[in-house]
Amino acid sequence: MVTYFKQAYLEIANFIIHALDKLKIEEVEAFVKTIEDIYRQNKKILVVGVGRSGLVGRAFAMRLRHLGARSYVLGETITPSVEEGDLLVAISGSGTTQVVVAAAEAAKKMRAKVAAVTSYYDSPLAKTADLVLYVPGRTKLASMDDYFARQILGIHEPLSPLGTLFEDTSMVVLDAVIAELMKRLGKNESDLAKRHANIEVP
Protein backbone atom coordinates (compact mmCIF):
# COMPACT_ATOMS: atom_id res chain seq x y z
CA MET A 1 0.00 0.00 0.00
CA VAL A 2 1.48 3.35 -1.07
CA THR A 3 0.82 5.13 2.21
CA TYR A 4 2.96 8.24 1.61
CA PHE A 5 2.87 8.56 -2.18
CA LYS A 6 -0.05 10.99 -2.47
CA GLN A 7 1.15 13.04 0.49
CA ALA A 8 4.65 13.35 -0.98
CA TYR A 9 3.23 14.15 -4.43
CA LEU A 10 1.14 16.99 -3.01
CA GLU A 11 4.02 18.27 -0.87
CA ILE A 12 6.27 18.58 -3.91
CA ALA A 13 3.58 19.95 -6.25
CA ASN A 14 2.38 22.55 -3.73
CA PHE A 15 5.93 23.67 -3.04
CA ILE A 16 6.53 24.26 -6.76
CA ILE A 17 3.27 26.19 -7.12
CA HIS A 18 4.01 28.44 -4.12
CA ALA A 19 7.63 28.89 -5.23
CA LEU A 20 6.35 31.07 -8.08
CA ASP A 21 5.49 33.78 -5.53
CA LYS A 22 9.07 33.69 -4.24
CA LEU A 23 10.72 34.08 -7.64
CA LYS A 24 11.87 37.57 -8.56
CA ILE A 25 10.55 38.40 -12.01
CA GLU A 26 13.38 40.86 -12.63
CA GLU A 27 15.86 38.01 -12.10
CA VAL A 28 13.93 35.77 -14.49
CA GLU A 29 13.90 38.59 -17.06
CA ALA A 30 17.65 39.14 -16.70
CA PHE A 31 18.28 35.40 -17.04
CA VAL A 32 16.09 35.06 -20.14
CA LYS A 33 17.49 38.23 -21.73
CA THR A 34 21.07 37.06 -21.16
CA ILE A 35 20.39 33.73 -22.84
CA GLU A 36 18.56 35.47 -25.69
CA ASP A 37 21.52 37.80 -26.26
CA ILE A 38 24.01 34.91 -26.17
CA TYR A 39 21.83 33.04 -28.67
CA ARG A 40 21.65 35.97 -31.08
CA GLN A 41 25.42 36.53 -30.80
CA ASN A 42 25.99 32.83 -31.58
CA LYS A 43 28.03 32.42 -28.41
CA LYS A 44 28.15 29.22 -26.40
CA ILE A 45 26.02 28.33 -23.38
CA LEU A 46 27.66 25.83 -21.05
CA VAL A 47 25.71 24.24 -18.21
CA VAL A 48 27.18 22.73 -15.06
CA GLY A 49 25.70 20.95 -12.05
CA VAL A 50 26.45 17.93 -9.90
CA GLY A 51 24.18 15.00 -9.06
CA ARG A 52 20.48 15.61 -9.60
CA SER A 53 21.13 19.30 -10.22
CA GLY A 54 23.41 18.13 -13.01
CA LEU A 55 20.56 16.10 -14.50
CA VAL A 56 18.36 19.20 -14.43
CA GLY A 57 21.17 21.06 -16.17
CA ARG A 58 21.41 18.39 -18.85
CA ALA A 59 17.69 18.64 -19.53
CA PHE A 60 18.00 22.43 -19.82
CA ALA A 61 21.00 22.19 -22.16
CA MET A 62 19.06 19.70 -24.29
CA ARG A 63 16.12 22.07 -24.72
CA LEU A 64 18.48 24.96 -25.48
CA ARG A 65 20.01 22.82 -28.23
CA HIS A 66 16.52 22.09 -29.56
CA LEU A 67 16.03 25.86 -29.74
CA GLY A 68 19.16 26.09 -31.86
CA ALA A 69 21.52 27.40 -29.20
CA ARG A 70 25.15 26.31 -29.02
CA SER A 71 24.61 24.60 -25.68
CA TYR A 72 26.89 22.09 -23.96
CA VAL A 73 27.20 20.26 -20.66
CA LEU A 74 30.46 21.02 -18.91
CA GLY A 75 32.56 17.90 -18.39
CA GLU A 76 31.46 16.05 -21.52
CA THR A 77 34.25 14.98 -23.86
CA ILE A 78 32.86 17.00 -26.79
CA THR A 79 32.40 20.22 -24.82
CA PRO A 80 34.54 23.01 -26.33
CA SER A 81 36.62 25.53 -24.41
CA VAL A 82 35.00 28.49 -22.69
CA GLU A 83 35.69 31.80 -24.41
CA GLU A 84 35.07 35.46 -23.74
CA GLY A 85 31.41 36.32 -24.13
CA ASP A 86 30.16 32.77 -23.54
CA LEU A 87 27.69 31.98 -20.76
CA LEU A 88 28.01 29.44 -17.97
CA VAL A 89 24.76 28.42 -16.26
CA ALA A 90 25.80 27.01 -12.89
CA ILE A 91 23.21 25.09 -10.85
CA SER A 92 23.67 24.42 -7.14
CA GLY A 93 20.98 24.68 -4.49
CA SER A 94 23.46 25.34 -1.70
CA GLY A 95 25.76 27.41 -3.89
CA THR A 96 28.72 25.67 -2.25
CA THR A 97 29.22 22.63 -4.50
CA GLN A 98 32.98 22.73 -5.08
CA VAL A 99 32.98 21.56 -8.69
CA VAL A 100 30.32 24.09 -9.66
CA VAL A 101 31.95 26.99 -7.81
CA ALA A 102 35.35 26.12 -9.36
CA ALA A 103 33.77 26.04 -12.83
CA ALA A 104 32.21 29.45 -12.24
CA GLU A 105 35.50 30.92 -11.09
CA ALA A 106 37.32 29.46 -14.10
CA ALA A 107 34.68 30.83 -16.48
CA LYS A 108 35.05 34.29 -14.98
CA LYS A 109 38.81 34.16 -15.58
CA MET A 110 38.06 33.47 -19.25
CA ARG A 111 35.77 36.54 -19.27
CA ALA A 112 32.64 34.48 -19.75
CA LYS A 113 29.40 35.44 -18.01
CA VAL A 114 28.13 33.31 -15.14
CA ALA A 115 24.48 32.82 -14.24
CA ALA A 116 23.88 31.07 -10.92
CA VAL A 117 20.73 29.08 -10.20
CA THR A 118 20.73 28.70 -6.42
CA SER A 119 18.78 29.11 -3.18
CA TYR A 120 21.42 31.19 -1.42
CA TYR A 121 22.43 34.74 -2.32
CA ASP A 122 25.30 34.73 0.17
CA SER A 123 26.87 31.54 -1.23
CA PRO A 124 30.27 31.42 -2.98
CA LEU A 125 28.53 30.63 -6.27
CA ALA A 126 26.15 33.58 -6.07
CA LYS A 127 28.98 35.93 -5.14
CA THR A 128 30.99 34.77 -8.16
CA ALA A 129 28.12 35.05 -10.63
CA ASP A 130 27.20 38.01 -12.81
CA LEU A 131 23.53 37.30 -12.21
CA VAL A 132 21.56 35.09 -9.85
CA LEU A 133 18.30 33.28 -10.49
CA TYR A 134 16.96 32.48 -7.03
CA VAL A 135 15.06 29.20 -6.82
CA PRO A 136 13.73 28.23 -3.37
CA GLY A 137 14.25 24.76 -2.01
CA ARG A 138 15.30 22.63 0.92
CA THR A 139 18.71 21.85 -0.44
CA LYS A 140 20.46 19.81 2.25
CA LEU A 141 19.88 17.70 5.32
CA ALA A 142 19.09 19.64 8.45
CA SER A 143 21.72 19.86 11.16
CA MET A 144 21.78 17.37 14.02
CA ASP A 145 20.57 20.09 16.42
CA ASP A 146 17.58 20.75 14.18
CA TYR A 147 16.89 17.03 14.03
CA PHE A 148 16.67 16.67 17.81
CA ALA A 149 14.59 19.84 18.08
CA ARG A 150 12.10 18.42 15.60
CA GLN A 151 11.89 15.17 17.56
CA ILE A 152 11.16 17.04 20.79
CA LEU A 153 8.51 19.20 19.10
CA GLY A 154 7.02 16.25 17.23
CA ILE A 155 7.83 17.73 13.82
CA HIS A 156 8.45 15.09 11.18
CA GLU A 157 10.96 15.04 8.34
CA PRO A 158 9.53 16.22 5.01
CA LEU A 159 8.70 13.57 2.43
CA SER A 160 10.95 15.23 -0.14
CA PRO A 161 14.49 14.42 1.03
CA LEU A 162 17.74 16.28 0.48
CA GLY A 163 17.63 18.63 -2.52
CA THR A 164 14.42 17.28 -4.07
CA LEU A 165 12.44 20.51 -3.75
CA PHE A 166 15.19 22.65 -5.26
CA GLU A 167 15.85 20.20 -8.09
CA ASP A 168 12.19 19.71 -9.02
CA THR A 169 11.46 23.43 -8.80
CA SER A 170 14.55 24.26 -10.87
CA MET A 171 13.38 21.85 -13.54
CA VAL A 172 10.01 23.60 -13.80
CA VAL A 173 11.57 27.09 -13.67
CA LEU A 174 14.03 26.27 -16.46
CA ASP A 175 11.34 24.60 -18.58
CA ALA A 176 9.26 27.78 -18.21
CA VAL A 177 12.34 29.78 -19.29
CA ILE A 178 12.48 27.63 -22.43
CA ALA A 179 8.82 28.43 -23.14
CA GLU A 180 9.57 32.16 -22.81
CA LEU A 181 12.59 31.84 -25.10
CA MET A 182 10.52 29.99 -27.71
CA LYS A 183 8.17 32.97 -27.97
CA ARG A 184 10.94 35.57 -28.02
CA LEU A 185 12.92 33.70 -30.67
CA GLY A 186 9.85 32.93 -32.78
CA LYS A 187 10.24 29.16 -32.42
CA ASN A 188 7.50 26.56 -32.28
CA GLU A 189 7.32 22.88 -31.39
CA SER A 190 8.01 21.85 -34.99
CA ASP A 191 11.24 23.86 -34.96
CA LEU A 192 12.35 22.09 -31.80
CA ALA A 193 11.36 18.68 -33.14
CA LYS A 194 13.67 19.15 -36.14
CA ARG A 195 16.65 19.28 -33.77
CA HIS A 196 15.49 16.43 -31.57
CA ALA A 197 17.62 13.28 -31.68
CA ASN A 198 16.42 10.91 -34.38
CA ILE A 199 18.84 8.09 -33.54
CA GLU A 200 18.33 6.58 -30.12
CA VAL A 201 20.52 3.99 -28.43
CA PRO A 202 19.47 1.73 -25.54
Q: Which residues belong to the active site?
A: 167
What is the C-alpha separation between 167 and 53, in angstroms, rounded? Answer: 6
What is the C-alpha separation between 161 and 52, in angstroms, rounded? Answer: 12
What is the C-alpha separation between 16 and 136, in angstroms, rounded? Answer: 9
DSSP string for residues in 143-201: PHHHHHHHHHHTPPPPSS-TTHHHHHHHHHHHHHHHHHHHHHTT--HHHHHHTS-----
